[in-house]
Structure 1
Amino acid sequence: MTRTQSPRADAVRNRKKILDAAREQITRHGSDVGMDEIAATAGVAVGTLYRHFPTKKDLVTAVVNEHIAQLTEAAESAQARQTAGSRALEEITDLLTRLIEATATNHAVKAAAHSLGADLVDKDAKARGAAAIAALIAAGQSDGDIHQDVTVDDIFLLFSTAPADQSPAERARWLTLILTGLTTHSRVTDGTANPCR
């Protein structure tokens, strides 16, 4: 029984190492980075990399869809906390902060995927994330914190246009301005959003 489980465990570990290495190398060097370099960074043989991902397009698509799955999980967790009693606006603010930072981290990978023609969207994960965000928006609107015309598409538009290549301070400033447009609350004098006012 151990013999049949070990290869599977090794395969799972190798896949994770490859995905981590691909994310790191593409972020550093762009879509031109070679599969050999990715394999070396992962500490696996090139043949092992190709067994998991026959083409670079397959590899980059997997990295991006792993990113989408993590964002979906964050949205569903935020919705679960809101359902359990936390304030919807606090969850939306925290979620936007996390998603923008995650997008900044994976910006180069997404750009590489686009240049390679890789499919960026796991449709099931996107649908689940959209449902969670829609529930948060509806709860925030019911609380009187979110403008009634805000939609899930608006949130996706924010993700797609976020200044991912800017500094953390500039991303934070962007979020402050965005929250002012989404919420019914004004900003406080120090220039930060005041979602709990």
Structure 2
Amino acid sequence: MAIKQVAVPDGRARIIHTGLTEEIVIPARRNWFALSFLPIWLALWSLGGIVAVYALFTEFQLFLLVWLCGWALGWLYAASTIAWQLFGGETIRVEAGKLIHSCRAPLWNRELAYDVAQIRGLSPDRGPSFFEGAQFQTPLLTYGRIGVIKFHYGAKTIHMASSLDEAEGRQLVDWLAARLPLSAGQ
């Protein structure tokens, strides 16, 4: 029986050099089950919402109004999950004494800057597993709470790089540690 050699996989993140700065660019992880299921669910969910709005205008019902509020939240969650997986991503860079983390998707962009002098305990983390619902989690809703890079910032633990595996997170922690002051890794 022949033994097949396993190729060493490349990482998903890219380090981009732009002039005087470097940044880590991380595309969103695509889950093909979610991307095939959610558009169908969203179409049926939209149809249900249209029927409910029609019924609400025909005869006002408080229950239906409350249900439509939940319907809208479900619709936004499904649409944002699709948008994140198709077009979203994260960037991480160190510049001017700040660690800057941004998440972007269509119609949504969030960028936070952390004072590098206040960062402690920079380390890799395992990130969420498939069974913890990782395929449906997006930084649009869980910003700073999931990811394979973590650090302590004051009394809060910050997570980044939600679309990566633990091994790649370890590589990026090493990359970041070389660019942060020595106190950040402690």
Q: Do they superpose with TM above 0.5? A: no
Q: Give TM-score, length-normalised by structure 1.
A: 0.23
The TM-score with structure 2 as length reference comes to: 0.24
Structure label with greater radius of gyration: 2
- The structure richer in strand per residue is 2
